[in-house]
Amino acid sequence: EQIMKGSYPHFMLKEIYEQPESLLQTMRGRVLINSQSENKTNALQIKSDVHLGGISQRLSDFKRSSRIIFVACGTSFHSCIAARQVMEELTELPVTIELASDFIDRRTPLFRSDVCVFVSQSGETADTLEALRYAKKCQALTVGVVNVVGSSIARITDCGVHLNAGAEIGVASTKAYTSQIITIVIFALQLSLDSRSKQVRRKEIHDALLALPALVKKTLTDLDEHMKAIAQRLRDNTSILLFGRGYQYATCLEGALKIKELSYIHTEGIHAGELKHGPLALIDENMPVILFASQDACANKVQNALHQLMARGGISNMIIIGTEGDSNLEAFRDKAQLVLVPQTVDCLQCVLSIIPMQLLSYHLTVARGLNVDQPRSLAKSVTVE
């Protein structure tokens, strides 16, 4: 086992640090370089800039579809939330996300024109598998986004994409999460390949994907010690609240899941738009708060949330996960713990802002003397309902 871990004390830390490479592997042969060019009249020539071999044969079926439904559990569910907005933006189709267990409970109506995407690291999760069987019965087009080659979900779906992230052994998912997000983003790029109106936006996302592994590496190098120090401060707390919205809503859900499943500290990820609908009552000077503030379309609304949280006394316990160069955050440098990640395009920012949360949950767990790779009562793959 120690040989497989290499120089790392735990699989989780190894897998966190593998992300620059696992993201590269997910993109290899799929996110193509030098794919667009401008001709003399400056009109954009549309050439393939992405290629997903597993679904390219079915593109005409996707064109006929009227909505896309993502189905998943746990961390995989959060990756769907993270990538939903860009899928909606680029395909202009309604996109819904279902927890596999709830989807099965409701036997929700499905049509032959629906595309159902099943996202699963292991490809064996019982609820996701049952939801897939139900979707097949309804004759929807089924797509797998799976890491484990040859797994049940990979075999049963009509078509799909492998994450190619490499084996993930730690129970808490890390590198599969970031690969799932970018796989769904590439999927959205593939589905909007011939949409002229989307070419400028597509190129922005395409170029940001290629730059992402290096930024993940920088984030890991810059923030590991910082998150370790924050973990020391938070280790004896009984509760932590995470707030975010827009592209960062998924980050606060996933960050909260990582912290609670590993450190056993009660942690909640809450949509910042819900602050006044209850959670604000929990905020006092003792409640540690982590707020995700990115330079995107939600920035002003997040600033409002920040002021409301600060006014309730959450100052000494406030951690802001922001982006480098955000002048709006300078005013908070002395009042809160600022954790800055590099800036990228809005829809990929969540890949960078989850890194400090992965590191924080890891260091909290080590500081509390708990089992990082095998938290109590949990399994890597939940194969029973």
Residue 335 in tokens: 């009042």
User: Which residues, in sequence order, are CB contacts of 119 under 8 Å at separation 6+?
Assistant: 70, 71, 72, 76, 77, 79, 80, 128, 145, 146, 180, 184
In angstroms, what is the minimal distance from the CB of 313 to ligand G6P?
A: 34
Residue number with CB closer to ligand G6P (121 or 317): 121
In angstroms, what is the minimal distance from the CB of 71 to ligand G6P?
A: 10
Rg of the chain over all Cα atoms, to the nearest angstrom: 21
In angstroms, what is the minimal distance from the CB of 345 to ligand G6P?
A: 25
Residues in the chain, total? 385
Residue number with CB closer to ligand G6P (281 or 379): 379
In angstroms, what is the minimal distance from the CB of 72 to ligand G6P?
A: 6
Cα-Cα-Cα-Cα dihedral of 379, 368, 222, 373, to 10°? -20
| Pair 349, 248: CB distance under 8 Å | yes
Residue 376, SS3 per DSSP: coil
Beta strands, E only, 131-286 = 141-146, 159-162, 239-244, 266-271
In angstroms, what is the minimal distance from the CB of 35 to ligand G6P?
A: 30
The dihedrals phi and psi of 372, each to the nearest 5 degrees, come to: -65, -45
In angstroms, what is the minimal distance from the CB of 379 to ligand G6P?
A: 6
Residue number with CB closer to ligand G6P (77 or 247): 77
In angstroms, what is the minimal distance from the CB of 76 to ligand G6P?
A: 4
Residue number with CB closer to ligand G6P (65 or 125): 125
Residues that bind ligand G6P (CB under 6 A): 73-76, 120-122, 125, 128, 171-173, 378, 380-382
> 3-state DSSP helix/strand/coil percent for the chain, to nearest 5?
50, 15, 35
E strand or H helix at 298, and its extent? Answer: none
Residue 126, SS3 per DSSP: helix
43 DSSP assignment: P
Residue number with CB closer to ligand G6P (308 or 374): 374
Alpha-carbon distance of 213 to 68, in angstroms, equals 28
* Among candidate residues 143, 131, 165, 34, the one with its CA nearest the CA of residue 87: 143
In angstroms, what is the minimal distance from the CB of 275 to ligand G6P?
A: 27
In angstroms, what is the minimal distance from the CB of 100 to ligand G6P?
A: 8
Residue number with CB closer to ligand G6P (305 or 351): 351
* Among candidate residues 228, 354, 244, the one with its CA nearest the CA of residue 299: 244
Residue number with CB closer to ligand G6P (153 or 230): 153
Alpha-carbon distance of 198 to 188, in angstroms, equals 11
Residue number with CB closer to ligand G6P (180 or 192): 180
Residue number, nearest CB to ligand G6P: 74
Residue number with CB closer to ligand G6P (65 or 157): 157
- Per-residue CA distances from 92 to 5, 54, 68, 113 (Å): 43, 22, 10, 15
